Structure 1
Amino acid sequence: MRNRHIEAGLSAQFPPAAILASFVAVCALSGCSVAIPVSSSNNSAMWQGAPEDMTGSIAKPPLKLSRRLDTEDIRRATAAMSTALDPQGSGASVNWDNPQSGAKGSFTPVGQAYPLDGKICRAFLADVSASDATERLQGAACREKTAEWALTDVKPFKKS
């Protein structure tokens, strides 16, 4: 009997029509918003994909062998690296130097060349002497069939 009294009190307090109206209002107010341009122009940036709205990944700058090397040093070092890492080569160390800057170094291939993402890659050890400092580095470089070798990893040498 007591439950009937409570049910009767609730329906008198909250009639079904009021509950339904409240539910509809909550659903309508909780929807997502949609932005509609007010411009009458057919070239609205919102609909055309304006360049300032486009996103994408930012390309990483190319790795450098050493921050102590100038442009000519890098050119000479890259030529030596290309010769040293060539899979058809002897696998011997290749030296380079720049008499004008005094920078010099060598590349020694480590292990065999290996494929990676459609490229040929090879690990190396490098010595670089420039600006009265010597660095021993380890890294890897890759190249596509007809392209130049590009550094993919360079870090100070650590014996394992």
Structure 2
Amino acid sequence: MSEHRRCTARNETPLERADRNFVELLQELRVVQTGVQILFAFLLSLAFTQRFPSLDALQRGTYVITLLLTVLAAALFTAPAALHRSLFRRGAKPHIVQVSSRLATVGMGVLMFAFTGSVLLVVDVTTHSRAAGAAAGAATLCVCLGLWGLLPRLVRRAAASD
């Protein structure tokens, strides 16, 4: 099939479709990246608070793991821009879109665990209850799994049956 042949329901070529898909992906990443940046700034500031030295070993471990997960999520969410920049004008747009989509999907999974760890830590520290922290972290994980995993499947199933 020719690269220039119009072949989709939107009457666009494969390259036009790749361009559109990449723009849509970047818009999604802009929304997510703001949240990641806020979470990262919050976590960085925690280490410099007066209360930080009083954290126990599990709380410090949760903090470090959550901080690193947040950095990894930020790296995964910014990688599509770096990938695009390094392959700009090399005819790789469909591959860039495919890889970038996978990076964003993995990033969402990592972010889910960063959210979970953040909530676990904050609730544990503020309530002085490890059980409350664990419950809040588990609830956060369930909400993310439901909204980011289950809901899209349900919508896809409903759309397929229409």
Q: TM-score, normalised by structure 1?
A: 0.23
Structure having the higher strand fraction is: 1
The structure with higher relative contact order (CA 8 Å, sep 6+) is 2
When Rg is computed on C-alpha atoms for both structures, the one with the higher figure is 1
TM-score between both structures, scaled by the size of structure 2 = 0.22
